[in-house]
Structure 1
Amino acid sequence: MKYFEQQGSVYVKKKNYTFPVILCIILLVVAFWGFKSESMGVFWVFIILTAIFIASAMTQKLIVDVSSQTVEAKFGLIKPLAKVSFADIQTFEVLTTSVNFIRSSVYLNMYYMKNGKEKCVAIAQSYSKKNIQDVYNELQDILNNETNVSLPNH
């Protein structure tokens, strides 16, 4: 498996730190520039942004537990961990965001029911639709092979 690591009956999405490392380097370069130009405000703002971004990247997780038939997803610092039963999953969505007609990100969102209300949690992010489709296909393979549960189409 390319995107998931199996640990018994639990599948954990592998973390990809390529983009966070690149963005942190860029933020630190701007912070260094602020320090060198004696603009301490710029320096501290970009140091704080770097720390927040690192913390956000480290907290992301996606766990599929086929024995308890649940998916646990955490995306970002503020949103709480979403623990979703396979039966509560409604659908998946590939969401492409762009700024000035330039693609900035692609998300794989999972919609589920909780207390009679539809909720949404992002479970993967990339800059290519192909990578997101591959993550979705692996997730579908895990559920089809391990539990005979079919994911809804996205």
Structure 2
Amino acid sequence: MTELKKFEKNGSQFVMKRQYGFGLLVVIGMLAFAIGGIYYKNTAVIWIFGILTILCFISIWSQTFVIDLDKQTFVIKNGLINKPVEIPLSDFVNFELVKVKQNLITTNVSLNLYYIKNNKEKCTGIAQGFTTKSMQKLINEINAILRLNEHSGKI
């Protein structure tokens, strides 16, 4: 198996490294509004955007994606309030790459994972970025990890 750039191996778990790019851009934008509130002496803007900046930064820090080969699950945690979701590999359906463009400029690319729960198809986000190439590399690494699991001899 080639060296993984987006994941760290921790025993039988593969933990995705934090993706700061897109989230930090949002945090910096909100911080700019908070600083603008300081400049214009508007306390409401300072408090609202200051608190939102902190909450978004904590949300970025708490986001995780883990592939656990012993338990045969994906473990995904998005946001502050949501609990981690364990998705058995047997319930995995496919990945979806969503690219949002405005005026021929790509503004967001997100990678979603589809799975079956209670006979219904569900979707959860894994990562966001600015380029399709970075998300494709992430999909390729996930597929390499899953192929590694297929050849491990475990049932």
State the TM-score, normalized to the length of structure 2.
0.87
Aligned pairs (5 A) from 1:99-110: 99-110=102-113
The 5-angstrom pairing of residues 3-152 of structure 1 reads: 3-148=6-151
- Residues 110 and 20 from structure 1, CA distance in 2 versus in 1: closer, same or farther, beyond 3 angstroms? closer
Find runs of 4+ consecutive structure 1 residues off by over 6 angstroms.
Answer: none
| Helix, strand or coil at the partner of 2:58 | helix
Unaligned runs of 5+ in 1: 150-154
Q: Secondary structure of the equivalent of 1:137?
A: helix
Contact 1:110 1:123 in 2 (8 A): yes
| Alignment: residue pair count | 149
Stretch of structure 1 that moved more, 129-138 or 31-40: 31-40
Give the aligned residue type for 2:5: K
CA offsets 1:117-154 (integer angstroms, 9 cap, x no match): 111011111111000000000000001012349xxxxx
Contact 2:97 2:109 in 1 (8 A): yes
Rounded to whole Å, the distance in 2 between the matches of 1:2 and 1:114 is 31
CA RMSD of aligned residues (A): 1.9
Task: State the alpha-carbon separation in 1 of the partners of residues 103 and 81 from structure 2.
Answer: 27
Give me the whole-angstrom Cα distance separating, in 2, the residues matched to 1:21 and 1:124: 13
Query: Structure 1 residues 117-126 or 140-149, which shifts more?
Result: 140-149
Mean alpha-carbon deviation: is it higher for 33-42 or for 59-68?
A: 33-42
Gaps spanning 5+ residues in structure 2: where?
none
Identity of aligned residues (%): 36
Q: Take 1:126 and 1:145, find their aligned partners in 2: how far apart are those partners?
A: 26
1:82/1:121 contact within 8 Å kept: no
Which secondary structure state, in structure 2, belongs to the residue aligned with residue 94 of structure 1?
Answer: strand
